[in-house]
Amino acid sequence: MGISDEPVVAEAEERTVPMGREAPLPIRPLPKPFNPVHLIGPGIALTALGVGLGETYQWPRLVIVFGPSVRWLFLLGVTVQLVVMIEMARYSMATGESIFFGAARIWRPVMWFFFACALFIYIWPGHMAVGAQSIENLTNGRLGWYPVAVVGLLLVGVVLTIVKYVYSVVEMVLTVFVSILVIGSAIIASMVGSWGDLWDTLQGTVALGGGSPLPSDWFTDTWFPIVVGAVAFAGPSGMQQMWYTLWLRDKGAGMGSYVPRIAGLRGLRDVEKETIPARGYTFDVDDEEEMAKWQGWRRWNFFDAGVLFWGITMLTTIIFTVMAISATRISPQTATLIQEGEREAALDGMAAAFGSVSAGWTKTVFLLLIGVIGWKQSFGLFDALSRGQADMTYYFAPKARRWSMSRHYMFFVWFIILFGIATLSWIGTEDGPGAILDILAFLSAAVMGAYCLLLLFVNNRLLPQKLRPGLISNIALGIGVLLYLGGTLWSWLVMGALP
């Protein structure tokens, strides 16, 4: 397999753009942009990964406890995530590199910080455990959560290993699963919800309606960490946005088109014949035609971020909030469970409440959806985590290039799966699946603040002047730093309460 790229003679002649502390980027033609109006792409993969327990449980819970008027904070959180997504894509499409490479261009220890964070935060198989618990509830205990979770983990590993090109399969699986989630939740909501519930939720999204938009209880030791965590869980939490840059590259968006894809066993021989460049490429920003193509790529990304990510995330959460309001109206006992924060009992209570209005079938659909969320979250997260770790290891670990990036990827996939099975045996059987998910949620907000800082620096200092973000994007990223990093530090250092 070829490791570095062009011959030395060619390097002396070609134009390059210096960028930070790593090698300068050679200039190549920017490929023709994709059609801007599209449905299938990295945006939908990120949306599928992002729509999880924050949308289906945490935010509906806050609405039940404090009233719909607190939903403005969700709107703010998802809108900040929209800008983050656009800015992540700006770097990745302009250079063909992941944002981790961007971090290394500032200073390699910054990148290794994210490497450590990713392993520490995402190695826990919490989503799979909660999804498996739902299947156990659905089958009245006939299928235990532990064997279901182990089989689910092994299935993730097998699918990610045997395919030809990994990204196409990840995109397909996540799209199918998010479609099922969206269709299923729409059907349940249509049965149990009402125009009144929807109107309250919509008013609350713009800080109108019943209750205070900033309840005083939020600033207590009990609630502040939960609110910070819920803001982080509005849209893609933790490092999911950073991994979006790797999916963009494998999709061939912008300059990512010059970097080979990650392959599974069936495609390994093909990709190992290809030459992997030692860094990305960029394009000539002084050429008007190239800048016109760049605007085309931006339009494609705006649709990916604005319609697919922002639109689907907002609609799904509105629908789940309506469902939670309906569940508490149907069954006051469920309202108590949700208010007490007993997640598993609350989800089961919601399922029972839905079942009571439809001869039982909406209960089955709801529990299936929670199972679907658990599996697709783990599938997407394990792919993305392995992809990110493989990228950093391949480019920056000494002697790592003796293996191709695809081999590093497969190593991380199976390492995480085997660690996950061991964790389920060790922690899960004693404390239940919810305890594992809490470990994951606990650590997400801080790293999101860190990547907002990273984006501010990388896109404003490293990219050529003509490609840098505008004032509004920078303000939104600044709000992200305050919300995520400021919130976590305030909670931890000032209030002494950990999320």
Partner 1 sequence: MALLVTIAGEGASSFTAAILALTIPLLGAGLLFGWLTDNDRLTFGRALLYWAAAFAVSRLTQELLVGNRQLKDGLIGFLLYQGFVGVLFGLGFLLLYQQVLAGLRKVLGDRAPDPDGGERRG
Query: Closest separation between CB of residue 224 and partner 1, Å?
Result: 32
Q: Give burial (CB, 10 Å; 0-12/13-18/19+) of 288.
A: exposed
- d(C-alpha 292, C-alpha 424), whole Å: 51
3-state DSSP helix/strand/coil % of the chain, to nearest 5: 75, 5, 20
In order of 153, 188, 382, 428, 450, the CA distances from 126 in angstroms are 11, 25, 12, 9, 23
Q: CB-wise, 122 or 303, nearer to partner 1?
A: 303
In order of 184, 225, 319, the CA distances from 325 in angstroms are 18, 23, 10
Query: Closest separation between CB of residue 72 and partner 1, Å?
Result: 19
- d(C-alpha 65, C-alpha 227), whole Å: 12
The partner residues of 22 in beta bridges, in order of sequence, read 19
- d(C-alpha 33, C-alpha 296), whole Å: 6
Q: CB-wise, 139 or 222, nearer to partner 1?
A: 139
Handedness of CA 484, 485, 486, 489 (dihedral sign): positive
Query: Closest separation between CB of residue 32 and partner 1, Å?
Result: 7
Q: CB-wise, 23 or 191, nearer to partner 1?
A: 191
Q: CB-wise, 139 or 339, nearer to partner 1?
A: 139
Q: Provide the terminal-to-terminal Cα distance of the chain, rounded to the nearest Å.
A: 46
Q: CB-wise, 31 or 486, nearer to partner 1?
A: 31
Q: Which residues of 206-231 are buried (b: 16+ CB within 10 A; e: fewer)?
A: ebebeeebebeebeeeebbbbbbbbb
Which ranges of 193-235 does DSSP label H, i.e. alpha helix?
A: 195-205, 224-232
Query: Closest separation between CB of residue 178 and partner 1, Å?
Result: 7
Q: Give burial (CB, 10 Å; 0-12/13-18/19+) of 105.
A: buried
Query: Closest separation between CB of residue 358 and partner 1, Å?
Result: 6
Q: Determine contact, residues 179/405, Cβ cutoff 8 Å.
A: no
Query: Closest separation between CB of residue 7 and partner 1, Å?
Result: 18
Q: CB-wise, 259 or 456, nearer to partner 1?
A: 259
Encoded amino acid at 170, one letter: V
Which residues, in sequence order, are CB contacts of 326 under 8 Å at separation 6+? 189, 192, 193, 194, 197, 353, 354
Query: Closest separation between CB of residue 391 and partner 1, Å?
Result: 14
Query: Among residues 159, 143, 158, 166, which one has the least CA distance to residue 371?
Result: 143
Query: Closest separation between CB of residue 22 and partner 1, Å?
Result: 19
- 229 sits in the region (left: phi over 0; alpha: psi -120 to 50; else beta) called alpha
Q: CB-wise, 195 or 286, nearer to partner 1?
A: 195
Q: CB-wise, 80 or 135, nearer to partner 1?
A: 135
* Phi, psi angles (nearest 5°) of residue 26: -65, 155
Q: CB-wise, 125 or 277, nearer to partner 1?
A: 277
Which residues, in sequence order, are CB contacts of 468 under 8 Å at separation 6+? 459, 460
Query: Closest separation between CB of residue 37 and partner 1, Å?
Result: 6
Q: CB-wise, 16 or 257, nearer to partner 1?
A: 257
Which residues, in sequence order, are CB contacts of 429 under 8 Å at separation 6+? 146
Cβ atoms within 10 Å, residue 196? 11
Query: Closest separation between CB of residue 172 and partner 1, Å?
Result: 6
Q: Give burial (CB, 10 Å; 0-12/13-18/19+) of 203.
A: middle
Query: Closest separation between CB of residue 475 and partner 1, Å?
Result: 30
User: What is the SS3 assignment for 51?
Assistant: coil
Q: CB-wise, 186 or 397, nearer to partner 1?
A: 186
Query: Closest separation between CB of residue 58 and partner 1, Å?
Result: 19
Q: CB-wise, 48 or 483, nearer to partner 1?
A: 48
- The residues that touch partner 1, with contacts defined as CB under 8 A, are 28, 31-32, 34-35, 37-41, 44, 138-140, 142-143, 172, 175-176, 178-183, 185-187, 189-190, 193-196, 198, 251-253, 256-261, 274, 277, 311-312, 315-316, 319, 358-361, 364-365, 368
Q: Determine contact, residues 357/330, Cβ cutoff 8 Å.
A: yes
Query: Closest separation between CB of residue 186 and partner 1, Å?
Result: 4
Q: CB-wise, 128 or 239, nearer to partner 1?
A: 128
